[in-house]
Amino acid sequence: MRPIFCFAPGQSAQYVGMGSDLYDKFESAKSLYDKVKDITGIDVARLSFNGPFDELTSTDNVQPILLAHSLACFRVFSDMYKEKTGDDFDFAATGGASLGEYFGVILAGVLGYEDTFRLVQKRGEFMKKYGSGRQALITLPPRDAQQVMLDFNVELSNCNYSEQTVIGGLEDEIEKAIEFARSQCSGPKKLRTMMLPTDAAFHTSLMADAQKHYAGEVDGCDFSVPSNYLFSNVTGLPYRKNGFDIRSNLTEQVTRPVQWQHMMNNVLTLLDIVAERYGGTPTIIEFGGGKPQKKQTDPATQQGNFSGIIFKNIAESGRKPNEDVRYLYCGGTGSISDTVRELTENEP
């Protein structure tokens, strides 16, 4: 077992052009995109490569599309790794952010491709149809954000690290909360805010109707025991070895905040334990998506959507990024090749 955590980002990591280089060069990626189209009826390749962006980023489309990209990146990476080493890629743990947790569900063998993509498609449809509100990223510690939430009708949606929180609520309430927070901010650090490109206030009580409809879909699935440590967004902890809590947590994730900071603290602790027992450098690998800028459609120019957050998570834990813990990104042919090279040539 190697001390490696493989994860995928969630919505907001999408961009027009993602996966185009993999589809053209690798049969394992092409066959995945074709399979997802057969399962969902969505022309995943067309929307991924050509957009338009508004259609791509619609929640009912982007959830299966972004998951497909993350899994295509993992497939190509695994093929490259085996070609170079002769061994299957071995990792200790997996998971993801929001939608990205379903990447971990597949990697840990909890569900197969067909069940997972059917679930994700229904999840996206219900979240778009029955959800309301918006999400905003705000550079406030959770305690300060909590005070804003008490004064306005907004909720915690995600805690990325100590000074970055995602809030959710009705759009006018979010705007009022942000305006108030800015008025209270003083000193050299300015408050940074950004409305996220999502269709609703995900991971808040405004998604309750979506969760009710989604619960029936989850109940219809037969979950297997995880083969690797699989981390839950709801608890920030690995799922139980018997897998009994997977069904309930995947359902609750729709309305519960993502405990990313707490989860990453537990991931880092686990990687340290595995490294001490089996050797190797603790490593976090992000698969799929990117950090798109306007009109940037070349996979070769992308960076990991969570790169900055991961570096903060590592530093705030008292570890040194890329010394005590490596962060790597697989989002296109070039970055996948670089990651394989790093893992095979620079491992002590």
Q: Tell me, what CATH number does 71's domain have?
A: 3.40.366.10
Q: What is the pLDDT of residue 186?
A: 58
155 and 120 share one domain: no
In-domain check, residue 94 = yes
Q: Please state, in angstroms and rounded to a whole number, the distance separating the CA atoms of residues 73 and 140.
A: 33
99 and 227 share one domain: yes
107 and 160 share one domain: no
- The CATH number that applies at residue 161 is 3.30.70.250
CA neighbor of 10 nearest in space, from 260, 334, 221: 260
Last residue within a domain, chosen from 195, 229, 248: 195
Tell whether pTM > 0.75.
Answer: yes
Number of other CB atoms surrounding residue 81 within 10 Å: 19
- For residue 241, count CB atoms less than 10 angstroms from its CB and return exposed for 0-12, middle for 13-18, buried for 19 or more: exposed
20 and 62 share one domain: yes
Q: Are 10 and 97 in contact (CB under 8 A)?
A: yes
Q: What is the pLDDT of residue 139?
A: 87
242 and 153 share one domain: no
Per-residue pLDDT band for 266 (boundaries 50, 70, 90) equals: very high
Q: Please state, in angstroms and rounded to a whole number, the distance separating the CA atoms of residues 61 and 63.
A: 6
Q: Please state, in angstroms and rounded to a whole number, the distance separating the CA atoms of residues 323 and 29.
A: 32
In-domain check, residue 200 = no
Per-residue pLDDT band for 348 (boundaries 50, 70, 90) equals: low
Q: What is the pLDDT of residue 292?
A: 72
- For residue 67, count CB atoms less than 10 angstroms from its CB and return exposed for 0-12, middle for 13-18, buried for 19 or more: buried
In-domain check, residue 248 = yes
Least confident range of 3-17, 141-155, 157-171: 141-155
H/E segment holding residue 53: helix 53-57
Last residue within a domain, chosen from 195, 217, 233: 195
117 and 232 share one domain: yes
Indicate the number of domains in the chain.
2
Domain hosting 152: range is 134-195
Q: What is the mean pLDDT of residues 212-239?
A: 96
181 and 293 share one domain: no
Last residue within a domain, chosen from 177, 195, 213: 195
221 and 174 share one domain: no
Residue 311 has pLDDT above 70, yes or no: yes
On average, the pLDDT of the chain sits at 93
217 and 146 share one domain: no
